[in-house]
Structure 1
Amino acid sequence: MDTSVVSAASNAGNNPVPLLMLRKSLDMQAAGVAALLQGMPQVPPSSNPPHLGQNIDIKV
């Protein structure tokens, strides 16, 4: 996100335009993230036996 939009919104005073621009920018970013998440493939459930992944062996 462009930081100049945030600083302009914080200095807007009675001018609603920078705040509206910030809200629109955040909405557009949210829509972009939603589209990316929709495009990700679904991960199938693990086919490992149930005893795998329960313990961690650590040696230093």
Structure 2
Amino acid sequence: MEDDCDIIIIGAGIAGTACALRCARAGLSVLLLERAEIPGSKNLSGGRLYTHALAELLPQF
């Protein structure tokens, strides 16, 4: 494993994971850190997913 990266993202909830995906697709080396066993398990999203933004980020979803 390399010791350096372009960006470090703290938290693998919805926002952190979306940010990591966008950065990785842009060619950046990403380190995504999460303290919980399940990503995003500490917080709740509020129950909303905006489909237009989700379709842009994950067109195959």
- TM-score range (shorter-chain normalised) is under 0.3
More strand by share: 2
What TM-score does the superposition give when structure 1 sets the normalisation length? 0.27
Give the TM-score normalised by the residue count of structure 2. Answer: 0.26
Whichever structure has more helix as a proportion of its residues is: 1
